[in-house]
């Protein structure tokens, strides 16, 4: 049986641009590192 909708979410501070930037950096830096490593490897095809 469905329970009535209950939200116990804590009130949040609106997220700033800084937190968005940091979040993207957290995943973007390792991704860029991996892409750069693959790109360097791919260059072997053109040697």
Partner 1 sequence: MAEASLLDRSRTVAGPGYNRWLIPPAALAIHLAIGQAYAFSVFKKPLGALISGDPAAPAPADWTPAQLGVIFSIAIVLLGLSAAIFGKWLERVGPRKAMMASALCFSGGFFIAALGVHLHNLWIVYFGYGVVGGIGLGIGYISPVSTLIKWFPDRRGVATGMAIMGFGGGAMIASPLSVALMDHFKASGTGSLGVAATFLTLGVVYLLFMQFGVWTIRVPADDWAPENYVPNPQHSALITSGNVSADNALKTPQFWLLWIVLLTNVTAGIGVLETASPLIQDTFSDKYLGAGRGVTAAAAAGFVGLLSLFNLLGRFFWSSASDKMGRKTTYAIYFLLGIVLYALIPTLGHNLQLALYVAAACVIISMYGGSFSTAPAYLSDLFGKYQVGAIHGRLLTAWSTAGVLGPLIVNFLHESRKAEGFTGAAAYQTVFYTMAGLLVVGLLANFAVTAVNEKYNEKGPVDAEPGGH
- The binding site for partner 1 (CB under 8 A) comprises 1-3, 5-17, 19-20, 23-24, 26-28, 30-31, 33-35, 37-39, 41-47
Q: Tell me the closest approach of the beta carbon of residue 12 to partner 1, in angstroms.
A: 3
Tell me the closest approach of the beta carbon of residue 22 to partner 1, in angstroms.
Answer: 9
Least distance from partner 1 to the Cβ atom of residue 27, Å: 4
Q: How far is CA 32 from the centre of its chain?
A: 12
Q: CA-to-CA distance for 44 and 26, rounded, in angstroms?
A: 29
């Amino acid at each position: 049986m469905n329970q009535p909708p209950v939200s116990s979410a804590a009130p949040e501070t609106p997220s700033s641009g800084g937190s968005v930037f940091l979040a993207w950096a957290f995943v973007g830096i390792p991704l860029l590192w991996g892409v750069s490593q693959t790109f360097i490897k791919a260059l072997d095809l053109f040697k």
